[in-house]
Structure 1
Amino acid sequence: MKPKKKAVYLLWLLPLFFVLLLIGSATAYAAMMMSDEKANLFQIGNLQTKVKEIFTEPATIKPNESVIKKVTVENTGTVNQFVRVMLHPEIRLESGESTRLLPSKIGEEVLLDLNFTNWKFGEDGYYYYLNVLKPGESNAAENLFTEIKLKNDLGLEYHKAAFSLLIKVEAINCSQYAYRDAWWQGDTPSSGVLQAIDKQLAEKAE
């Protein structure tokens, strides 16, 4: 009879053992959640960028005639930044309710005096600023370009077309390899111009 009583006692202890396990698991999970909440309370630096330009829009742009257009990127935040810029020119011909887009490639129909000393053009279509932009500072002395003009021998269809240039600016903090995560999905370029850009930015990362 005694062995049977021991077996009964063990059966009663098993549910209690599982309850204790569940309480222990719940306690550990709650501790992990509290840790995550505390991590979210840390204040991070303010990352803000402002684009300024010196540009008087003319009524018309004649082919091969330069127009002054200086675009400056200013760091209005509180942390050091790396900056990249994408330029999207557009020449459109409107006739009634229809719009026709004409070829407007930089270096062909659209000519810029690009600064390749302080900037590099990557295979991803962005121009990368190779220096650190500090809080309260701008790259006014190192503009990507300062003037713009249209190619001289454009066809007659361009004479009544409208020209615009979209400037897209992106900034990221200078912490070690943050630009790789934000701009290249965490990859490290192994060839081409992006590899050279990565090398120069890595040397200036914090």
Structure 2
Amino acid sequence: MKQKKKIIHFLWGVPVFIICLVIGSTVAYAAMMVREEKANLFQIGNLQTKVEEVFTEPVTMLPNKPVEKKVTIANIGTVNQFVRVMLHPEIRLESNSSIQLLPSKIGEEILLDLNNIDWKLGEDGYYYYLKALRTGESNRTENLFTQVKLKNELGKKYHGATFSFLIKVEAINCAKFAYRDVWWQGVTPNSGELKVIDSQLAKQID
């Protein structure tokens, strides 16, 4: 008779133990959830650039007559950054409600006194600034170029055409190899001008 009572007490104690485990697991899970949902507050760096230039737009441009146009890039944000620039010159001729785009390639129809010391042209068509553009007082690049002119031997079809010049700038922070991930899809160049550019930028990552 005594043996049966012991068995009954033992069996009754099993569900209680299981309930305790369930409650304990629930409490532990809830505590974990609270810790995981705790917000981490921090300030995000501000990545901003600005094209700055010294330029007085002329009424007309004559072939082989240079026009002053000093172009630099300024870091107006709060983080160090690498920059690259794409130049888009365009010469268009409008007549009889039609528009004709004329050849306007840099180095051929368009002549610039490019700074090849602080800047380098990559195979992708971008001009890369070879230094990290820091925040603070020295937050501007060296001039990419200081003047622009049209080639002297342009044909008569260029007479009366309109010349425009778009400067597109891209910036990326100086975190370790972020420029490779964003600009080159994570690929490390192993030849050409991009390899030279990469070797310069890699020395200046934060």
CA shift for structure 1 position 43: 1.2
Unaligned 5+ residue runs, structure 1? 1-9
Q: Number of aligned residue pairs: give it.
A: 201
Establish whether residue 151 from structure 1 lines up as the match of residue 151 from structure 2. yes
| Aligned residue in 2 for 1:89 | 89
AA partner of residue 78 (structure 1) = T
Cα distance in 1 for residues equivalent to 2:29 and 2:90 = 60
Give per-residue Cα distances to partners, 1:54-73, cap 9 Å, x unaligned: 01111111111111000121
Give the stretch that moved more between structures: 184-193 or 156-165: 184-193
Cα distance in 2 for residues equivalent to 1:47 and 1:146 = 26
| Aligned residue in 2 for 1:175 | 175
TM-score (norm 1): 0.82
Cα distance in 1 for residues equivalent to 2:187 and 2:27 = 43
CA spacing shift, 1:175–1:96, aligned 2, 3 Å: same
Return structure 1 stretches of 4+ with deviation > 4 angstroms: 17-34
The structure number with the bigger radius of gyration is 2
Unaligned 5+ residue runs, structure 2? 1-13
Q: Percent identity?
A: 61
| Aligned residue in 2 for 1:203 | 203
| Aligned residue in 2 for 1:103 | 103
AA partner of residue 138 (structure 2) = E
| Aligned residue in 2 for 1:137 | 138
TM-score (norm 2): 0.82
Question: Which SS does the other structure have where 1:89 is aligned?
Answer: strand
Give per-residue Cα distances to partners, 1:165-189, cap 9 Å, x unaligned: 1000111111211111221122211
| Aligned residue in 2 for 1:3 | none
Question: Which SS does the other structure have where 1:146 is aligned?
Answer: strand
Cα distance in 1 for residues equivalent to 2:101 and 2:23 = 71
| Aligned residue in 2 for 1:125 | 125
Give per-residue Cα distances to partners, 1:49-102, cap 9 Å, x unaligned: 121110111111111111100012111111211111110000000113211100
CA spacing shift, 1:167–1:191, aligned 2, 3 Å: same
User: How does 1:57-96 map onto structure 2 within 5 Å?
Assistant: 57-96=57-96
CA spacing shift, 1:68–1:188, aligned 2, 3 Å: same
Cα distance in 2 for residues equivalent to 1:138 and 1:190 = 30
Cα distance in 1 for residues equivalent to 2:199 and 2:44 = 26
- The answer on whether the counterparts of 1:87 and 1:167 sit within 8 Å (CA) in structure 2 is yes
